[in-house]
Amino acid sequence: MNFIADENIDQAIITKLRSVGHIILSIGEMDVGISDEEVLEIANHQGAVLLTSDKDFGELVFRDHRYTFGIVLIRLFGISAENKANKVHGVIKQHGAELVNSFTVLSLDSIRIRPRLF
């Protein structure tokens, strides 16, 4: 599966997903400081699910009706980067196909997958 990691994603998550065979382009390694709109455009152009911890992407998708190939909003606070990486990997392993064309919120105690309706 292909992913774009927003610049706010822990390197441990990127490293873990790469180690299990996922293709991950990292905004932090490519073009730090670009706008959310540009990040979303890159993800869509690449046919990749966007991994981010920036809630502003919810506004782009639901308020502004911007197209997304898929977004995973990572809200994992208070745990180590390694535990975050393992949690994200587990969700992708279990729900991978569901993440496409959806807006997913991943928190410590839940995962909400909301299909894009427009």
What's the CATH number where 100 sits? 3.40.50
Q: What is the span of the domain harbouring residue 11?
A: 2-115
* pTM recorded for the entire structure: 0.95
CB 28 within 8 A of CB 9: yes
Distance (Å) of CA 78 to CA 9, 13, 31, 47, 57: 15, 15, 28, 31, 22
Over the stretch 32-64, which tens digit does the pLDDT of each residue have? 899 999 999 999 999 999 999 999 999 999 999
Give residue 118's pLDDT band: very low, low, confident or very high (50, 70, 90): low
SS3 11: helix
pLDDT tens digits, 4-28 = 999 999 999 999 999 999 999 999 9
CA 61 from centroid of its chain's CA atoms = 13
Give me the pLDDT at residue 27, please.
Answer: 97
Q: How much is the mean pLDDT over the chain?
A: 95
pLDDT value at residue 59: 93
* Size of the chain in residues: 118
The Cα diameter of the chain in Å comes to: 36
Q: What is the pLDDT of residue 20?
A: 97
How many structural domains compose the chain?
1
The pLDDT, as a whole number, for residue 31 is 86
- Mean pLDDT calculated for residue range 99-110: 96
Average pLDDT for 87-96: 96
